[in-house]
Amino acid sequence: MAAIGFRAFAGGLAAAALWLGGPPPAAAHDIAGEVPRTAVVSAFPPELSVLAEGLEEAVVRSENGVDFTLGRLAGRDVVLFLSGISVVNAAMTVQLALDRFRIERIVYSGIAGGVDPGLNIGDVVIAERWGQYLELLLARESGDGWAKPPFFEYPFANYGMMFPRSVTVQRGGAAGPETRFWFPVDEALLDAARAATAQIVLNRCTADDTCLGHAPRVVVGGPGVSGSAFVDNAAFREYTFETFGARVLDMESAAVAHVAHANDVPFIAVRSLSDLAGGGPGENEIGVFLGLAAGNAAAVVKALLRALPE
């Protein structure tokens, strides 16, 4: 059968299946009757469990293997779920949630590695923009330097053969694709976060009474970066701060900011420092301070939810 004939035949079968009452495509899921909700998202269970403890009227719905828990948290209608670790998992799962639920805003809660040398473990950072710093050209060596193809943008300094670059984004209603590095956080959510956390007191001791030598604080503003790498290297940490001005780095937030931007949904990320991304004096601190950091992020998220309008 000729290619054109086969395509027409296949198209006819598909049309007949729909006409005969065959299953509609997944994109046809009707969300018009859904309750408007705030999506509260974390990467892995220890981050989300501290939020789920306060959930009321919980109902679990499974979509494509992902459990979404609907309920009330801090007086607001929410849907809680795990994105999975890494930028691909985060983008895929958040888009699934947007396709299946009536989501008014996205709040990401979790831990991060501290990059800004002025910050400490336990501090909570609410960045004003996020970039995907491991979108890269890996350049070839040329003499004493690196040869870079001319068809990419290179807005930042390189780290050896690694040259960060922007991404191209397709967005509904836009005249065409746009190329950008930074994805902004919603300004109204940032303002609400500033107001909600002005007087908040964060934990400085773990469950087994390992205590920080400082009182953790909330910092609103500045950049954050994300990529599919767990960073535990002092030199690369320094490069990340000097090159991007980043306060924190993680493995999901910029991907979720990307998806939120493409869908025109307000987004904010609340990240608490569980470690210093290789900048500490000894081994990585996440094994000791994961629970403390996750709890501090959750406390800020709950305060933010209470500050939001019904």
Among 81, 256, 96, 91, residue whose Cα is nearest residue 184 = 256
Confidence of residue 25 (pLDDT cuts 50, 70, 90): very low
Q: Other CB atoms closer than 10 Å to residue 72's CB: what's the count?
A: 15
The token pair at 162 is: 């690694």
Mean per-residue pLDDT, 254-268: 97
Per-residue model confidence as pLDDT tens digits over 101-156: 999 999 999 999 999 999 999 999 999 999 999 999 999 999 889 999 998 889 99
pLDDT for res 172: 82
SS3 82: strand
Residue 17 scores a pLDDT above 80: no
- Residue 138's closest CA among 129, 127, 147? 147
Residue 4 has pLDDT above 50, yes or no: no
> Phi/psi of residue 109, each to 5°?
-125, 130
The predicted-structure confidence for 33-76, as pLDDT tens digits, reads as follows 689 999 999 999 999 999 999 899 999 999 999 999 999 999 99
pLDDT given for residue 153 in this prediction: 87
How far apart (Å, rounded) are the C-alpha atoms in residues 56 and 73?
6
Look at residue 30 in the predicted model and tell me its pLDDT. 54
Give the pLDDT confidence of 180-209 residue by residue, as tens digits.
999 999 999 999 999 999 999 999 999 999
> Is pLDDT above 60 for 169?
yes
Query: Do residues 253 and 94 lie in contact, with contact meaning Cβ atoms separated by under 8 Å?
Result: no
pLDDT at 237: 98
